[in-house]
Amino acid sequence: MSTQLFIPTAEAAFIADLTDRQMNRVVDERLLPETLFEQRGNSRWFTLLAAAFAKFYFANEDLLLAGARRQVLEELTARVEQLAVKDRVLTWMLLDAVSWKVERKTLVVDVKPYIQSALARAKEVDQADALVTTDQEVMDGAAVFAGTRVPVDIVLGSLAAGIDMGRLKASYPFLTEAHIQSAKVYNEVHPRRGRPRRISEANPGLPRRVTRVVKRVAAA
């Protein structure tokens, strides 16, 4: 699990299982306590706890009024802020230090399931960061599978083009389903700009199938 106190928007959105737009709404509309996120220039950064809280907020739109959801999350954040070990809670290293239930007369709201769900997705990010790496001296800094020089875009692009896993494993025997999933997660958490490389550019070793369409012109 990452020990960083703040993570970028794309990673927070993946962990929360939300869109980047929803995570940006958290900032723009101040849906969560401000201690859970910060602005760095043009970038928004979030605590892991903010990701789980954002999921709770949007998942309960039909059950609780916006004000009630905010009150729940403000109370939980206040509990965390009072702890001497609050940074360990915010980075999910000491979650049991806080009760994640808020009681209002006959209503009991438990946010822990959202934290557990987000925690599971955070572990997917950890696995992706373990199986996919970047190094400017390896393939010009392209994301590659750890211990290889194989860019993840080669494999994902090939799969998208209809090349099956069997053919890919023949070229790259190390590949497993975990590598494929981690490549997808890595690309979602670390979005890149620019034109993606074509299959022919990224993977010249794989045989290509060429289909020609011949149009006949009717005689005059």
Pairing label, strands 132-133, 101-104: unpaired
* pLDDT tens column, 126-179: 999 999 999 999 999 899 999 999 999 999 999 999 999 999 999 999 999 999
Contact present, 58 and 18 (Cβ < 8 Å): yes
The full set of domains in the chain, from first to last, is 4-124 (1.10.1660), 135-188 (1.10.10.10)
* pLDDT tens column, 173-215: 999 999 999 999 999 999 876 544 444 444 444 444 444 445 5
Residue 218 in this model has a pLDDT that exceeds 60: no
* pLDDT tens column, 70-93: 999 999 999 999 999 999 999 888
For residue 206, what are the contacts with CB-CB under 8 A and spacing of at least 6? 158, 163, 167, 168, 171, 199
pLDDT at 213: 47
